[in-house]
């Protein structure tokens, strides 16, 4: 069983930050970066949960939804990784990816 706490902490921290960003910051690229992150996390979760199936894409639900989308995708991935045999490498990669996105969104 993998300890997914670092991923959950990083995702929740970023999601909270996204929910408080002004519209102008989201429009300057914060929302696009967050949506790309949510899509990537969701794809990884789907590849674990449904191998061989083409992953579905997280829809663009608008500027003010990206915080929630990151949170949901991150929590889904964490749940998928809990019992994944090869999950440690992907877990570390996901934590790094969230940190990378956070640095771009809210330096």
- Whole-prediction pTM: 0.94
Domains of the chain: which residue ranges? 5-105
pLDDT at site 59: 97
What are the distances in angstroms from CA 73 to CA 8, 42, 57, 105?
A: 10, 5, 11, 17
| CB neighbour list of residue 80: distance below 8 Å, 6 or more residues apart | 44, 45, 48, 49, 87
The stretch 37-44 carries a mean pLDDT of 98
Written as six digits, the tokens of 60 are 């663009």
pLDDT at site 7: 97
Tens of pLDDT, residues 67-102: 999 999 999 999 999 888 777 789 999 999 999 999
Residue 107, pLDDT > 80, answer no
Residue 9, pLDDT > 80, answer yes
């Amino acid at each position: 069983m993998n300890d997914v706490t670092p991923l959950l902490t990083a995702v929740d921290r970023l999601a909270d930050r996204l929910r408080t960003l002004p519209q102008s910051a989201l429009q300057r690229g914060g929302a696009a970066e967050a949506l790309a992150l949510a899509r990537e996390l969701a794809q990884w979760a789907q590849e674990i949960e449904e191998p061989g199936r083409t992953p579905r894409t997280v829809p663009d639900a608008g500027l003010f939804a990206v915080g929630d989308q990151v949170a949901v995708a991150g929590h889904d991935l964490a749940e998928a990784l809990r019992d994944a045999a090869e999950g440690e490498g992907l877990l570390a990669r996901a934590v790094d990816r969230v940190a990378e996105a956070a640095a771009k969104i809210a330096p």
